[in-house]
Amino acid sequence: MSTYERTCLIRGDGGRTIRRILERIGNKWTLLVVATLHDERMRFTDLQQRIPGVSQRMLSLTLRQLERDGLVSRTAYAEVPPRVEYELTDVGRTLIDPAVRLAEWAVEHDADIERSQQRYDARQQPDR
Predicted confidence (pLDDT) per residue in 38-57, tens digit: 889 999 999 999 999 999 99
Q: What is the pLDDT of residue 3?
A: 74
Instruction: State what percent of residues in the chain have pLDDT above 70.
Output: 91
Confirm if 86 and 47 have CB atoms less than 8 A apart.
yes
| Domains delineated in the chain | 29-124 (1.10.10.10)
- 69-128: pLDDT as tens digits: 999 999 999 988 889 999 999 999 999 998 888 888 989 999 999 999 999 999 998 765
